[in-house]
Structure formats: C-alpha cells, structure tokens
Amino acid sequence: MLGIPRMHPAYVRSIIPINWGAGYQFGCPFAGLKDTPELIWQKRSSFLFRQLRFGVRRPAFGMPDTLGQLWGTRNMADDHPGSEFRRTLRELGDEDASKRDFVAPSGPCCLNGTIHQGESKGKFVTLAGVETYVGTPKKPNGHILLYFPDVWGMFPNGLLIMDGFADAGYLVLGMDYFRGDPVWKHRKDRHDNSDPNFDYEAWKKKHTAFADENVPKWVSAVKEEYGEEQTKYACVGYCFGAPYVCNELAGDTVTAGAFAHPAFLKEHHFFNLKKPLFLSCAEVDHTFDTPSRRRALDILQTEKKPYQLQLFSGVQHGFALRGDLENPYERYVKEQSLKGIVEWFDFWLSQ
C-alpha cells in the first residue's frame, strides 16, 4: 500500500470513529473512500504531525510513537521540504521547543463582541508616559491589580471590568499600550472593511513591540507611584494581555495572576512561572485551542506550578469581556469569570 504502515484497529478506535474504507487501508483514520492518494498523503502527514507534537495517545502497537520510528516509516512525500513531517523535524531539531508558539496570535475572532452599557467610575492619568486607567475602590483591601487589556484597549467593557475589580477592593491600574489606537478605531467587527488601508498584522506588530518594551517600565512606575512596602500585587490580562501576565508571574513583583481567552503565548511562558496562575478559558477558542490548552496543563502539572483552570462550553474567544449580556448564559459566564478571578486573587494575596 505505497509503503505506508497500517494502523492497528485498537489504536484507530481509540482516536476517532472512522470510515473503515480507504482511510484505514492507507493508515490514516481521517481519509475517506473517495480520497485520492495525494490527499491521503496530506491527511496522513497532518495526523502524524499531531501525534508527534501533541502526543494524543501512545498506540497499542503498529503505529510509530517516537521520532526514530516515524523516520523509519517516512515516504517520499514526507521528504518534501514543505511537508508537515519535515517542518516538525526542523522544529524538534533546530529550535528550542520552549520558544515555539502554541497559542495563536490575536485573529479575526478578537474583533467580535458587543459593547456593554454602563458608566465607568475611574479616571485616566499618565504613568511612565502611557495613559493609564485608575479604578479606585470604595473599600480598599490594600492590594493593587495590574490590568493588561485585549486588542480593544480602553473601551467601555474594559473600563467596566476594571471597575468590577475595584468594587472587589483592588486599586486597579490599566495600561493603554495601544496609545489611543485600539483595533475598534479601524474595524467595528471582523467583517468591517470600511478602512481598506488598515493592516491588522502591521497594527499588532507595532503595538506588541511597544508593549514588550514598555510594560516593565510601567509596572515599575506603578510600584513607585502607588505601592507601599506592604502592598501586594496581582495582574490580569485578556487576549493580547496574557503574555504580560505570565511575564510578571515569572518575576518577583506580583503574588498571583490570571488571564482569560489568551493569545500570543509560548511554552516558556508556562515553564517560567513562579507564581500561581488562573486560566479562564472557552472550550472552543482558536487562540487557545484544545491541544494548546492540554499542552499548557501538561507543563503546569509536570512542573508542579500552582494553577486553576476555569473552562466554559458554549462560548467563544472574548467571552469574559465582550459577551452579549442580553444572552443569559453569556452574562452568567462573563460574571463567573470575573468572580473566579477575584476569588483567586483574594485567596493568594491573603496568604
């Protein structure tokens, strides 16, 4: 059969219900009876790639489960420099695995959502040369919360969520690393092409470079301006803000952190954690899909990092900030995300 190893039926059944036709004969559980050999090559390469990279399950027998075994069963299509097999070998041989992206960058789904109604209670100040939202609690608990926004920046929903943390007793400071240039100024939603000159990828690159350089300076300014010797810090980030949460958790400033529907993460963000992390996630989210989430949990568990996973079905990326509050379930999920994060901070900062 073109030199492709057969998969043992026990292993095939353990992965997915399949079409017991051409796909099984060609060693690929995702192929169909009418698929051409070329398409089956492609599907099989993709299947082996996922097995190697994410380790779905070890086979009972009859299927390669190590790099050496996989190399021993390669074929001419695998030797093509553009194949997933070859790309995987290059990754595993030439690149530090901890530096690979396994959480996708912000994408079109980050442009979805609804604007929430309400009046923000905080004020804006300039800190480290960056406009900063300050949410002041009526009943302060003495702690400071650093807020890292999603691509919508300082929009009404973000201000209201910061006010929610302030209502829980935290002095909240939110950094506008987009400098008054949030994505909604260019696109109202993912289908909005009213500004044909807007380059979303260039926009992300520009603001990521600024944030990478200036977040540490801003955090230092927060500590100098608002902190006291006994002050404890927490941090929270949404989407674009997730890496900055992990960066802070790898240092000595914050006591605990949290993110919701993250983007732009790499494995080293989880390996390097020194402080507890709360993950508020959607079951279906292209920026933090199931294999990525499982890999993150593998790292956290193997490295014995303190964490909590909050996982919601029936919602998508943006649920914690941009859900439709007219929908009872989306409102519930948004509120539970906020509540879970607050309780996480309350516990760890009380220790």
- Angle at which helices 200-226 and 242-249 pack, to 10 degrees? 40
Domain spans of the chain, in order of start? 9-94, 108-349
pLDDT given at position 346? 99
Q: What is the mean pLDDT of residues 7-13?
A: 37
pLDDT given at position 187? 80
Q: Residue 311 pLDDT more than 90?
A: yes
pLDDT given at position 82? 38
Task: Name the residue with higher pLDDT: 76 or 307.
Answer: 307
Q: Rounded CA gap, 121 and 160, in Å? A: 8
pLDDT given at position 335? 97
Q: What is the mean pLDDT of residues 36-61?
A: 43
Average pLDDT, the chain: 78
Q: Rounded CA gap, 313 and 216, in Å? A: 35
Residue-wise pLDDT for 155-177, tens only, equals 999 999 999 999 999 999 999 99
pLDDT given at position 114? 60
Residues that are catalytic: 239, 285, 317
pLDDT given at position 306? 99
pLDDT given at position 184? 85
Is the Cβ–Cβ distance between 166 and 136 less than 8 Å? yes
Six-digit token pair at 262? 């993250």
Query: Domain 108-349 maps to which CATH number in 3.40.50.1820, 3.10.510.20, 1.10.3720.10, 3.40.50.10540?
Result: 3.40.50.1820
Q: Residue 1 pLDDT more than 90?
A: no
pTM recorded for the entire structure: 0.70
Nearest to 340 by CA among 307, 298, 292: 307
In this structure, which amino acid lies at residue 23?
Answer: G
Q: What is the mean pLDDT of residues 64-72?
A: 32
Strands 171-175 vs 232-238: parallel, antiparallel or unpaired: unpaired
pLDDT given at position 196? 84
pLDDT given at position 193? 76
Based on its alpha-carbon atoms, the radius of gyration of the chain, rounded to whole angstroms, reads 23
Q: Above pLDDT 70, what percent of the chain? A: 66
pLDDT given at position 56? 38
pLDDT given at position 24? 33
The sign one gets for the Cα dihedral 218, 220, 226, 231 is positive
Q: Above pLDDT 90, what percent of the chain? A: 61
Is the Cβ–Cβ distance between 276 and 188 less than 8 Å? no
Helices (H) and strands (E) in the chain, counts: 12, 8
Task: Name the residue with higher pLDDT: 321 or 46.
Answer: 321
Of 129-133, 143-147, 153-157, 173-177, the poorest mean pLDDT is in: 153-157
pLDDT given at position 180? 96
Of 90-99, 236-245, 331-340, the poorest mean pLDDT is in: 90-99
What pLDDT band is residue 326 in, cutting at 50, 70 and 90?
very high
Q: Residue 60 pLDDT more than 90?
A: no
